Structure 1
Amino acid sequence: MSTQADHGHDLIPRPEQTPDALRAALAVVAPGRLGEMQATKDEAFAKAVEWQSLSPVQSWVLIWARDIEIARRPDLWTRYSHAKSTLEDDDPVTAQEALRELSAVLEEAMGAVRE
């Protein structure tokens, strides 16, 4: 596990960006998503073989590292959950604000895992 800036009471340390470390972290913060992780991993590896490129695998690692970053940090998780819950609000202004907030959370999480 790598070190990271203190964001309060993180549920777990930020995992290394390897399939095994990401899977272990997901098993703690969002075990219900393990099947989804495996399915997307299988797709990424199949595309990597088909395309003769590691880019699908690299993308898979970054996407799951980002999602785990959100799930392991209560500050991000709260913002993410609230934005997702208001994304389809009847008020277009509220929905637009939710979309902006969701984008901001995803960007912050991606920036954190790319440090």
Structure 2
Amino acid sequence: MSMPYADGSGPLVPKPELTLPALRQAVAAVAPSRLPEFFEDLQKAFVRAGDEDSVVPIRMFYRQWGVVIEIERHPETARRLHAAEQALSSPDPNVRERAVREAGEIVRAAHREVAGG
């Protein structure tokens, strides 16, 4: 993983491959406080894969964490998402509506990026 760009405008780390080592390294770099959640989700995905005799839960885990990293590796995008999440508890319905729209746009864009589109 690379260091942040000198001017702070670029991603904190390169876009990782959707592999366990690459995702683990990227989470450690951009959201280290989420490593316990990452490993818990990993364990759940492997248990579910065994229960279902399917690799789909593992692929879903990779995709889910690819999206998290795609957001978190861009500090301004992550800041906007976290602000929108905070705004969801606003008593003002207009603020909540804007927050839902903003969060949805950010997450959908991250899903598109992870999917290669």
TM-score by length of 1: 0.91
Are 1:71 and 2:72 an aligned pair?
Answer: yes
Deviation at 1:78, TM superposition (A): 2.0
- Taking the aligned partners of 2:77 and 2:96, their CA distance within structure 1 comes to 19
Q: Deviations along 1:68-112, whole A, 9 cap, x unmatched?
A: 010001231122011111011100111011011111110011111
Amino acid at match of 2:60: S
Amino acid at match of 1:87: L
Range with bigger deviation, 72-81 or 89-98:
72-81
Q: Structure 1: give runs of 5+ residues left out of the alignment.
A: 2-7
Amino acid at match of 1:11: L
Q: Structure 2: give runs of 5+ residues left out of the alignment.
A: 2-8
Describe how 1:1-115 pairs up with structure 2 within 5 A.
8-115=9-116
Spell out structure 1 runs of 4+ moving beyond 6 A: none
Q: Deviations along 1:31-57, whole A, 9 cap, x unmatched?
A: 111111000000000000100111110
- Taking the aligned partners of 1:88 and 1:54, their CA distance within structure 2 comes to 37
Percent of matched pairs sharing the same residue: 35
Amino acid at match of 2:11: D
- Taking the aligned partners of 2:17 and 2:97, their CA distance within structure 1 comes to 34
- Taking the aligned partners of 2:97 and 2:16, their CA distance within structure 1 comes to 32
